Chains A and B, each alone.
Chain A
Amino acid sequence: AQSVTQLDSHVSVSEGTPVLLRCNYSSSYSPSLFWYVQHPNKGLQLLLKYTSAATLVKGINGFEAEFKKSETSFHLTKPSAHMSDAAEYFCVVSEETNAGKSTFGDGTTLTVKP
């Protein structure tokens, strides 16, 4: 069984300040972990993916996430928020070989203030 918990439903930051979106997971095997972003009226886009290689994963648009097995966490960070980062972010856990067995977190809405 697998599950994912996004600890914040809403995060608000000022432009130029750091972003932290928190995600904890539970899995009975070595999981693959993802962050997806959904802009208004758009489909989901992959930000980054962890698959048991380097624990610090760099993604698109300056985002990165660190896999911490001891804490069962996969938090998403960005050093400096941009207005265009305002969107919904989903943390996802998946079996290594079956894309259909992906479990989505409830999502975190990121608001970026000017």
Chain B
Amino acid sequence: SAVISQKPSRDICQRGTSLTIQCQVDSQVTMMFWYRQQPGQSLTLIATANQGSEATYESGFVIDKFPISRPNLTFSTLTVSNMSPEDSSIYLCSVPTGGASSSGANVLTFGAGSRLTVL
């Protein structure tokens, strides 16, 4: 399965600033997913990052708040903009374990996550 590197692993940020999280995969994948895990809660899908097109956002998440880049098949970034304490969460990058094809590949491989604390 793919190996995912995320950075930063953790950061402490000031209210009103923005932070960009990077996700690097060791193989080419069509779809990359960004999840948020708020303290003590489950994972919620923010968006699907598609190479060569705009990201697809889930209900409750907007591009202005969480802009995503996907310049190639192995890399994506998620920016958390104009942060508030409510954005304090773990942000996780994930890809289908099946690799380049998403068809039938509904097992997910996750990065270790980026733990953000907003003061």
**A binding-site residues for B, Cβ under 8 Å:** 32, 34, 36, 41-46, 49, 90, 94-102, 104-107
Q: How distant is the Cα of A97 from the Cα of B104 in the complex, in angstroms?
A: 4
> CA–CA, A101 to B105, complex, Å?
11
Main secondary structure of the interface of A (DSSP, over half): loop
Q: Are A99 and B31 in contact (CB under 8 A)?
A: yes
Assembly CA distance A96 to B105 (angstroms): 8
Are A97 and B103 interface neighbours, CB within 8 A?
yes
Complex partner residue of A96 from B31, B33, B44, B106, CB under 8 angstroms: B106
| Interface size grouping (class) on chain B | 20 to 34
Q: List 20 A-B contacts (CB under 8 A).
A: A32-B106, A36-B108, A36-B110, A41-B112, A42-B112, A42-B113, A44-B108, A46-B107, A90-B42, A97-B104, A99-B31, A99-B98, A99-B105, A100-B102, A102-B106, A104-B43, A104-B44, A106-B42, A107-B41, A107-B42
Q: How far is the CA of A41 from the CA of B113 in the complex (A)?
A: 8
CB pair B92–A44 under 8 Å, yes or no, is yes
Q: A91 CB to closest chain B CB, in angstroms?
A: 10
Chain A residues near B108 (CB-CB < 8 A): 36, 44, 46, 99, 102
Q: Are B45 and A96 in contact (CB under 8 A)?
A: no
- Interface residues in B44-90 by Cβ distance below 8 A to A read 44-45, 48
Q: Which of A43, A97, A106 contacts B110 (CB 8 A)?
A: A43
Which residues on B are within 8 Å of A, measured CB to CB? 4, 31, 33, 41-45, 48, 92, 94, 96-98, 102-113, 115
Q: Inside 8 A of B31's CB, which chain A residues have their CB?
A: 99-100
Alpha-carbon distance A37/B112, docked complex (angstroms): 12
CA gap between A8 and B44 in the complex, in Å? 19
Residues of B within 8 A of A96 (CB): 104, 106
Please indicate the chain A residues that have their CB under 8 angstroms from the CB of B45 in the complex: 100, 102
Nearest-Cβ distance from residue A76 to partner chain B, whole angstroms: 16
